[in-house]
Chain A
Amino acid sequence: MEHVIVPRSTYYTIFAVLVVMTGVTTGVAFFDLGLANPVIALSIAVFKASLVVLFFMHLKYRSRLTWVVAGAAVFWLGILLVLILSDYTTRGWAWF
C-alpha cells in the first residue's frame, strides 16, 4: 500500500479546529437552548471524532477495506443506540 506523508500543517490545522470546537461546546453549554443543547454538543462531538479518525488515524488515506472496518464499528454503535432507544423512546407509550 502506498504510504502517504501528511504535511505537518494539516495536523496543526486539525488540532486548531478541535480546540476551537471544544471552546464552542463549552460556550454553547452556557446558553439554555432546551433540547438543542445536547443535539449541538453531540453534533460537535461527532464532527471532532470524525476529524480525529480521518486525519490523525489516517482513515482518509487508507484502502476501502479499512473504511469497511471503520464503517462496521459505526454500524455496530448504531445497533447499540437504536435498540437502546427502542426502550427509552417507548417507555411512555400507553399499553393497549
Chain B
Amino acid sequence: MDTLAFPRTHYLNAEYGLKSWLLTTDHKRIGLLFLGAISLFFILGGIFAGLIRLELLTPPGDLVSDDTYNKLFTMHGIVMVFMFLIPSIPAVMGNFFVPIMIGARDLAFPRLNLLSWYIFMTGGLFTLYAIVTGGVDTGWTFYTPFSTLSSHSNVMTAAIGIFIIGFSSILTGLNFIVTIHTMRAPGMTWFRMPLFLWAMYATSLINVLATPVLAITIFAVALERALHMGIFDPAYGGDPVLFQHLFWFYSHPAVYIMILPAMGVVSEVIAAFSRKSIFGYKFVAFSSLAIAVFGFLVWGHHMFVAGMSVYGAMIFSVLSFLVAVPSAVKVFNWTATLYKGSISYQTPMLYALGFIGLFTIGGLTGLFLASLGVDVHVTDTYFVVAHFHYIMVGGAIMGYLGGLHYWWPKMTGRMYPDMWGRVAAVVTFLGFNLTFFPQFVLGYMGMPRRYHAYPPEFQALNVLSTAGASIMGIGYLIPAIYLLWSLKYGAIAGNNPWGAKGLEWEIPSPPPTFNFDKTPVVTEPAYAYETREK
C-alpha cells in the first residue's frame, strides 16, 4: 500500500515567487505554465464558438453582422487550432511526463523548453492583438487570393502570431526527439517505452518536419501582400492552389499533431483501467509512426474541388484511405485490450472510451470525404464541420481531458471527486453528440459552412446543435470547478492512486524537482499488469 502522506518538498514548493516560475527550467513547471496559457485560450475560443452557435439558433443573421460572423469563425479556428489543440497534450502533459516516463531528471534542453513557452506566449499575444484590434475574417486557413488581395482585416498580425507560435512547436518537438533518443534510463528500451512516448515521438517528428513549411507559406503570403511578389495571386502571375498545397502540407499532418498525443493518452488509460497490457503493443507503437508518415501524403483531399488535376486528386484519394489502416489498428487493439480485462469506469476511463467511439465516427466519416464523388457533394458543408469536430473535439479534447484526469493526482498531489468527474465525462459526451451529430445531417442536406444565415428548414437541427453546445459547455465547466477545488480540498493522492504501472507512478505526488533520487533501472515491459497481479 502506498503511503498517503503529502511529500514535504516537491517541485511546487521548492521555490516561491513569480520569478521562480517565469525563469524556471523545470519541465514540470513549464508544463503548468503551458496549462495556464492554453486554458485561457480554450476559454476564448469557446466564447467565439458560443457566439457562433447563438447566431445559428435562428435562420436570419440577427445577432451579429455577416462580417462579424466571418471574424468569429476565423478567430474560433485560429485560437482553438494553433493556441489550444496543437500545444495541448504535448506542451502540458508531454513536457510534464516525457522525462519522468523515461526515467530522466529533465528534458534534454531545459532552457530551450522555457524559450518555447515564451515564444508561444509572444505568438499568442500577437494573435490576441489581431483579435482585439478588429479581428481576422479569412477563415483559419488564410486562403489566397482573399488573404493576400481582398481582406482588409488584421491578416498579417494574426499570421505573424501563428508564424511565431510554430517555432514553439518546433522547439518542443526537437526537445522530445533528443530526450527520447538520448536520456532513457537503463533498461528503458524502445519497446519498453509506454505508448504515450511513442505517440509523443511521432508527434514531434511531424512538428519538426511540417511546421517549417507553414512558416515558409506564411512568409510567402507576407511577401505577396507587402511587396506584390507573384506567388499565389494570379494577378501577379501566381497560383492560389499552390497556397492550398503548401498550407495543407502542414495543416493535414497538424491534425495528427492534435490526435496522436490523445491516442497516446488513451493507450495509457485503457491499460491502467483494464489492468492489462496493450494488445499488440508493437503494432500500436508502429501505427503511431505510420500515421505520422502517411499523414504527410494525403493533404490533397482538402482540395478536390479547388481546381486541382483529377489525376492528382485520384492519387490523394487512394493515399488518404491508407491512413485508416494504422488508425484502425489502434482502435481494434484498444478494444482487444478491453477483452477479459478487469475494467473500472473511473473518470479517465470514461473519457478514453468516449474517445474511441467518437474518434471512430470521425475517422470513418473522413473516409467519406476521401472518396472523390462523395466529397464533391459535401465539400464546404456542415458534414465537414461535423467530421473534423468529431476528430478534434470528440477525439483530441476527450483525450486531453482523459489525460488531465489521469495525471492530475500526480501533477498536484490531490484527488478530485471522481463522481463529479464521471458526471462531467458523460455530460460532455452527450452534449458533444447533440452538438455535432445533427451537423452531419445538416451538411448532407446541403447546409454550407461559414454562413451566418440559412433557410428555415435547417432550423430544428441547428437548435439541437446549439442546445448540445450549451450542454457541452457545462461539461467543460464542471471539471474547471472541481479541479481547481481539488488543489486545496482534494484528498491526498499518494504515489499511485490508480494502481497503475509506469515510472511516473513510482515517485511521490507531486514529484520532487529532479523527479528521481537515483536513476531508475527498468526491468519489465510497459503495462506489466498481469505480472504484478499473479
Contacts and interface: CB of A to CB of B under 8 A. Distances in A.
Contact of B311 (A73, A79, A93): A93
A93 B213 contact: no
A95 B297 contact: no
A88 B209 contact: no
A76 interface: yes
A76 B309 contact: no
A23 to B, nearest CB: 23
Interface string A5-35: 0000000000000000000000000000000
Nearest to B299: A83
Interface in B306-331: 308-313, 315-316
B300 interface: yes
A95 B315 contact: no
A89 B308 CA distance: 10
Interface in A38-96: 72-73, 76, 79-80, 83-84, 86-91, 93, 95
A87 B312 contact: yes
B311 A86 contact: yes
Given A72-B209, A76-B209, A80-B213, A90 B316 contact: no
B249 interface: yes
B311 A84 contact: no
Contacts of A87: 241, 245, 300, 308-309, 312-313
Nearest to A89: B309
Interface residues of A, number: 15
Nearest to B205: A72
B440 interface: no
B213 A86 contact: no
A85 to B, nearest CB: 9
A95 B309 CA distance: 10
Nearest to B242: A84
B297 A79 contact: yes
A60 to B, nearest CB: 22
Nearest to A93: B311
A83 B315 contact: yes
Interface of B: 209, 213, 241-242, 245-246, 249, 296-297, 299-300, 308-313, 315-316
29 contacts: A72-B209, A76-B209, A79-B296, A79-B297, A80-B249, A83-B299, A83-B300, A83-B312, A83-B315, A83-B316, A84-B245, A86-B309, A86-B311, A86-B312, A87-B241, A87-B300, A87-B308, A87-B313, A88-B309, A88-B312, A90-B309, A90-B311, A90-B312, A91-B309, A91-B312, A93-B309, A93-B310, A93-B311, A95-B310
